[in-house]
């Protein structure tokens, strides 16, 4: 069993990102399937990679690039232990949440919630 399956985040493969909520110093990303909803909270703000350009919180247009992923499906989820959570969207755009210890602001980098299941990295 891959770590992606073990953590349940693979559920968002093939599911659309429906919204992004900006909350002070973190974001929540909402994914809505046919019968279920999941929330990925990123305490370590993700980087978006699109057309060989990276967008981080300090990059002009960062929020626009995050919002441009709304209504796009996640094609693949990669969970690289102690390195990153990578969501590969349609149109070859990637969102990456760092799991590197030096990038943590607090004790957690991200949290995935679906129903009663909660996973924290």
Please state the domain extents for the chain: 3-120
Model's pTM, two decimal places? Answer: 0.91
pLDDT of 78 > 50? The answer is: yes
In the chain the beta strands, taken as DSSP E runs, fall at: 16-23, 26-32, 37-42, 47-50, 53-55, 74-80, 84-89, 94-98, 110-114, 117-120
What mean pLDDT is predicted for residues 24-51?
96
| pLDDT tens string 110-119 | 999 999 999 9
pLDDT value at residue 102: 80
| Residue 105 confidence class, pLDDT cut points 50, 70, 90 | confident
* Residue 21, both tokens: 């909520």
């Amino acid at each position: 069993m891959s770590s992606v399956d073990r953590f349940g985040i693979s559920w968002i493969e093939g599911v659309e990102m429906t919204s992004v909520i900006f909350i002070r110093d973190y974001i929540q990303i909402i994914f809505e399937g046919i019968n279920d909803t999941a929330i990925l909270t990123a305490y370590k703000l993700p980087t978006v990679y699109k057309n060989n350009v990276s967008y981080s919180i300090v990059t002009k247009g960062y929020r626009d690039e995050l919002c441009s992923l709304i209504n796009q499906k996640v094609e693949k989820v990669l969970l690289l232990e102690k390195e990153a959570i990578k969501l590969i969207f349609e149109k070859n755009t990637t969102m990456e949440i760092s799991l590197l210890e030096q990038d943590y602001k607090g004790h957690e980098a991200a949290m995935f919630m679906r129903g009663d299941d909660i996973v924290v990295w």
